[in-house]
Amino acid sequence: MGFSRRVGNMKKHDIRIDRSKLHPLLDYRMERLLKKCKKKGIYLIITEGFRSAEYQDKLYAKGRTAPGNVVTNARGSSYSSQHQWGIAFDIAINDKDKLYDTAIICKVARIAKKLGLGWGGDWTGIVDKPHFYLKKWGSDTVELKLQYGSFERFRKTWSGRVNYKTRIRMWSNVSRSKVVEKIPNGEKVLVLYKKLWYAKIKYKGKVGYVRSKYIK
C-alpha cells in the first residue's frame, strides 16, 4: 500500500484513518496497542481503517484491471473485507527503512494478541501481517453479513443512550468497587460490548462499566 505523506524516522505514531468509523472496542484496543508499543520504542502508522465499497473495489482492481500488484481478494460489492465493517486496521512501522519489517511487526502482533486482537499473520490462507482485527465475528465477515446485513445497521449497535430516571453509575471495574462517573439520563455513550448484566462503555473519554439494561 502506498503512502500519501512522507515517512521519516519519526518517534511518534501517525494515525491516517477516521477513527470514528472504527468499532469502539477496536478503537479502544488500538489506543492501548499504541501506548504499549510506544513504551517499547515502536512507533506505528495506522494506514487503513474503514473502507467504503467504492474504495475496496479500487483496491480489488489493482493487479487485475488496474496497474499494480494484487492487494486483496475481497470485492467491495461483496462486503467481504473486515475493513468494510469497521473491525480492522492495518499498520506500518513509522520508519522509512523499516515500514514492513517482519521482526518488528511480529513484536507488535505479540502485544496486540495479548490485548485480544486477531492478527492476519496467523491466517492459513492469505497471510496479512500488517492486519489486525476484532475476533468476535471470526476471521471473515460471514457472521456479520448474516446478523446485520449492512454496515449501517451494524454501526447502530456501537452507541446507545442512557435510559433511566436519574443518573447511572459508571464503575472502573465489574466488581463495582469504584464509581468513575455518573451519567445523566439521555446521554449518548459508545458501547464497546455487552456481557451478562453489564456493558463496557466510553463516555467523555472515560471507559468503564454500567448496567446494560440502562443503555438503549
Q: What is the pLDDT of residues 167-187, one digit of tens each?
A: 999 999 999 999 999 999 999
Which of these three, 135, 153, 171, is where a domain ends? 153
pLDDT of res. 4:
46
Considering only CA atoms, which of 207, 5, 191 is closest in space to residue 92? Answer: 5
Same domain as 190, residue 88: no
Checking if the pLDDT of 2 tops 80, the result is no
Give the total number of structural domains in the chain.
2
Checking if the pLDDT of 7 tops 70, the result is no
Percent of the chain with pLDDT over 70: 95
In a domain, 176, yes or no: yes
In a domain, 5, yes or no: no
* pLDDT digit string, tens, across residues 146-164: 999 999 999 999 999 999 9
Same domain as 121, residue 177: no
**CATH number, residue 145:** 3.30.1380.10
Q: What is d(CA 92, CA 129) in angstroms, rounded to the nearest whole number?
A: 10
**CATH number, residue 172:** 2.30.30.40
In a domain, 47, yes or no: yes
The answer for residues whose C-beta is within 8 angstroms of residue 172's C-beta and 6 or more apart is: 178, 179, 180, 208, 209
Global confidence as pTM: 0.93
- pLDDT averaged over the chain? 95
Same domain as 166, residue 137: no
Same domain as 147, residue 48: yes
* pLDDT digit string, tens, across residues 69-103: 988 889 999 999 999 999 999 999 999 999 999 99
Checking if the pLDDT of 201 tops 70, the result is yes
Same domain as 183, residue 88: no
**Packed helices 102-114 and 24-39: angle between N→C axes, nearest 10 degrees:** 120
Longest Cα–Cα distance of the chain, Å, equals 59
Q: What is d(CA 28, CA 25) in angstroms, rounded to the nearest whole number?
A: 5
